[in-house]
Structure 1
Amino acid sequence: MITREATEQDLEILLEFEQGVVSAERPFNSTLIEGKINYYDLNNLMQSPDALLLVAEDQNEIIGSGYALIKKSEKDYNRFKEYAYLGFMYVSPEHRGKGVNKVITDELVNWAKSRNISEVRLDVYSENESAIKAYEKAGFEPLLLTMRLKA
């Protein structure tokens, strides 16, 4: 398995992966609309100097994806001015459990460190226990739980 930067030639499979992310998240989020949802501006992620969009390949087949995006801290009181936000973490179902997500995550974190970014964040649904365990195994820890009330 190798990782590499995504290119425009990868868009078709990446758009399929995006719908895979949406499908995986639907059971955890009743507020999502029906039908196709586009979470990501993939072209912008590929072109931005403040982002790295990776794909993982196995035998010339794209099997996973993820991005890191450098963002400004929203709060003046944080100890960091910028952080790397990870997203679009997806692995094809037949390749799950093989460490693909860890390889992608490690590569994205290393990229952030190379840019002098010391804070890395991501979002995960509180009920998505398998994802939480995977991210904890990679060194992440819970920080904040967003609560909601349908009024």
Structure 2
Amino acid sequence: MTYFIRKATLKDIPTLLDFEQGIIEAERPFDPTIQDGQISYYNIAELINNDASEVFVVEKNNQIVASGYAKIKGDRHYLKHDRIGYLGFMFVHKEHRGQGLNKLIINELLNWCKERSVFEIRLDVYDDNIAAIKAYEKVGFKKHMINMRFNINDYNLEK
């Protein structure tokens, strides 16, 4: 059986909620600021229903095995573009990794953005998440800006 990509529906939410927890579990080792316990990153129903966003899923044998979304957002007034396509919720079930599904999802998301005349595409990835960075670079993304953090509690301030 081959993989099939389609737009997500509200009926997909239970599976997508499981994927969201998989993303959170994978990202916790990279980010000490993520709260413990059950948390949520996304309002999946809103992403599915909003005209400014789209969630795509990949199926195999009638089971969802991968996901991703694109959302059109406004950008800073001084840039050459006024809107960006922001990609997120990138998840491939571990049994299906290495099959090119991330690229399949990203291509669909990029086409969705292009159809809406949005050509500047952004996403966030943790600096230590080498596998994800390589996957995004393989599709054509380039590092652009580094977001740095500092926890003042971890530092001895001298007076």
| Alignment-derived partner of residue 32 in structure 2 | 30
Distance, in Å, in 2 between the alignment partners of 1:10 and 1:118 is 28
Q: Which amino acid aligns with 1:9?
A: K
Structure 2 match to 1:146: 147
Secondary structure at the counterpart of residue 71 of structure 1: strand
| Structure 1 residue aligned with 2:134 | 133
Task: Report deviation, 1:11.
Answer: 0.7
Greater than 4 Å deviation, 4+ residue runs: none
Q: Which runs of 5+ in 1 are unaligned?
A: none
In structure 2, which of residues 11, 14, 23 is the aligned counterpart of residue 12 of structure 1?
14
Q: Which runs of 5+ in 2 are unaligned?
A: 153-159
Q: TM-score, normalised by structure 2?
A: 0.93
Residue matched to 2:68: 66
**Mapped partners of 2:72, 2:77: distance in 1:** 16
Which secondary structure does the structure 2 equivalent of 1:130 belong to? helix
The CA deviation at 1:3 is: 0.8
Q: How does 1:34-53 map to 2 (within 5 A)?
A: 34-53=36-55
- 1:54 matched residue in structure 2: 56
1:81 aligned onto 2:82: yes
Larger radius of gyration: 2
Aligned length: 150
Q: CA RMSD in A?
A: 0.6
**TM-superposed deviation, 1:69:** 0.2
Identity %: 47
Q: CA deviation at 1:91?
A: 0.4
